[in-house]
Amino acid sequence: MPELRLGPVLRYTDDSCATVWVETSRPCTVQVRCSDGAGGTAPTFQVAGHHYALVTVTGLRPDGSPSYEVFLDDAPVWPLPDSRFPPSVIRAPGAGDAVRVTFGSCRWAAPPADGTDPVGPDALDTLATRLAADPGARRPDVLLLLGDQVYADETSENTRRWLAGRRDLDQPPGSQVTDYEEYCHLYHESWLDPEIRWLLSTVPSFMIFDDHDIVDDWNTSASWLADMRATDWWQERLLSGLMSYWVHQHLGNLSPAELAADPAYAAVRAAQDGTDALRDLATRADADPTAVRFSYRRDFSRVRVVMVDSRAARVLDEDRRSMLAPSEADWLREQVLSDPGSYDHLLLGTSLPWLLPHLVHDTENWDAALCAGERGARWARFGEYLRRRADLEHWAAFPRSFASLAALIAETGTAPDAPASVCVLSGDVHHGYLARASWPTDGPGTPVVQLTCSPVHNSVPLSMRIGFRFGWSAPARLLGRLLARHGRCERPPVTWRKQGGPWFGNQLMTLTLRGRAAHLRLELTTPEAELRTAHETTLTRG
């Protein structure tokens, strides 16, 4: 008899259909049955000995919120027997009078319930506990998870013990994961957490990777990549990481229509064993940043979300270095500017912040100039060393890409049918802040804000906390200008000021978008495993 190994995870939803992802113990037929008669069925597909299904649920009503059950070969497997959680439901984002978007990034798997948590309560666990205690409470319409859903390079003590039973951890890459099976273990460790499992079953989620989903500082530079490819473990690690990401995260980001048109999805499903077909996709993605698109767009009522791949889509050659390959930049422009007037709020999801503390921005910009040879070969070698040691690989480290994104946002905000707000949603830097952008001349009338929320469940050393606080200060801005002058850097086309933060600790941000009004709330976890509002502000009044 087949068993439910992982899931269900509620992914894409609209006013008539949804997708539900599961992993099972063996091949079977998966069925989702809703309390209002809606439902769907799908056979499992196989990858590397694991069995998955993505069920398209049809027949949903626009304003409905039916509970659902999952069956494997007609045997009920969800809800779990004696579950302490309310029934899982399917509700389309924007079905009410507002769209509530909760987002964050950087989540280490929470330890077992009887274990000690070295980084404090998990913000998603805490959210799930609050919602389960009050089924009638206002809940997010959608979760946006902005990177580092798993940590392939920073494994838990339990995972290290499991890895030691498979191979010699004294051989590179040590206690980091190496293959598809080990990646699957990370997802099980993270998503089998009871609170997370229930939360993901009942709140639609959309995801994008960041570096730790593969390895810290993934795709920092061309020389970094050359060094990684010279090892005997990197290729398998990268391909396995991309394959597991495609299965566990990417598929659920796609609509049923996009899935139907996806040749890779068709090939994997058609094969008795889809491993080779999926490995071919990962190999092409590794060889060419334009071969596979991991970016995507979703519209929730009059809210447009464009999730941008700021890792795998990079061009790393120093003479044409770019955060986004040209075709990816063209795609982004098309998604943002198409159907003008059809959305009131634009949310740009990028795992890496566009606007950083000023000193950090100027340091990355200066370092990029050094690496490009602006101060000669010796400075270029120092710049590459510093880039790797200090993780200088955000948008500011790709100056042309930073300016191009600024220009695209300005064009969006000055159009006749401009949205009421443009919000850049990011994580990565293990603290939260709100910064508002402005343009010296011909800037958009639309408010433009950088909203950074990280971590969901992680930590940051005291030295970095002090550095991030200092990075926003007036002395830091002076130091940054001196570095920019040394690097002969052009002034950025946009200026920005911090309007909230920095906030440290496990956290979530929620945007409530009603008509042309936008409201932001930041919540931090407390030692008592509760979410406390640390900041609220109105971004636009409509």
Give the pLDDT score at 464. 87
3-state helix, strand, coil in the chain (%, to 5): 35, 25, 40
pLDDT, tens digit only, all 542 positions of the chain: 999 999 999 999 999 999 999 999 999 999 999 999 999 999 999 999 999 999 999 999 988 899 999 999 999 999 999 999 999 999 988 767 899 999 999 999 988 877 788 899 999 999 999 999 998 888 999 999 999 999 999 999 999 999 999 999 999 999 999 999 999 999 999 999 999 999 999 999 999 999 999 999 999 999 999 999 999 999 999 999 999 999 999 999 999 999 999 999 999 999 999 999 999 999 999 999 999 999 999 999 999 999 999 999 999 999 999 999 999 999 999 999 998 889 999 999 999 999 999 999 999 999 999 999 999 999 999 999 999 999 999 999 999 999 999 999 999 999 889 999 999 999 999 999 999 999 988 778 899 999 999 999 999 999 889 999 999 999 999 999 999 999 999 999 999 999 999 999 999 999 999 999 999 999 999 999 999 999 999 999 87
Domain boundaries, the chain: 93-541
Give the pLDDT score at 442. 76
Half-sphere exposure for 455 (CA within 13 Å, toward CB): 22
DSSP 253-270: HS-HHHHHT-HHHHHHHH
Give the pLDDT score at 117. 86
In what helix (H) or strand (E) does residue 432 lie, and over which residues does it extend? strand 432-438
Give the rounded distance of the alpha carbon of 398 from its chain centre. 20
- CA-closest candidate to residue 151, choices 102, 201, 120, 110: 110
Strand partners, 69: 33
Give the pLDDT score at 252. 97
Read off the tokens for 74: 């007609």
CA dihedral in degrees (8, 20, 307, 239; nearest 10)? Answer: 70
Give the pLDDT score at 270. 96
**Do the strands 17-24 and 39-43 form a parallel or antiparallel pair, or are they unpaired?**
unpaired
At the second CATH level, the architecture of 93-541 is 4-Layer Sandwich (3.60)
Q: Are 352 and 428 in contact (CB under 8 A)?
A: yes
Q: What is residue 351's three-state secondary structure?
A: coil
Read off the tokens for 120: 């404090």
Q: Are 52 and 187 in contact (CB under 8 A)?
A: no
End-to-end CA distance of the chain: 55
- CA-closest candidate to residue 236, choices 262, 264, 215, 212: 215
Give CA–CA dist 404/329, Å, rounded. 9
User: Which amino acid is present at 125?
Assistant: D
CA dihedral in degrees (52, 56, 62, 68; nearest 10)? Answer: -50
Between 234-245 and 180-191, two packed helices, what is the crossing angle to 10 degrees? Answer: 40
CB neighbours of residue 49 within 10 Å? 10
In what helix (H) or strand (E) does residue 449 lie, and over which residues does it extend? strand 448-452
Q: Are 284 and 290 in contact (CB under 8 A)?
A: no
Give CA–CA dist 426/255, Å, rounded. 23
Residues 6+ apart with CB under 8 A from 313: 289, 290, 293, 294, 295, 323, 324, 325, 328
Give CA–CA dist 10/204, Å, rounded. 5
**Rg, C-alpha atoms of the chain:** 23
The pTM of this model reads 0.96
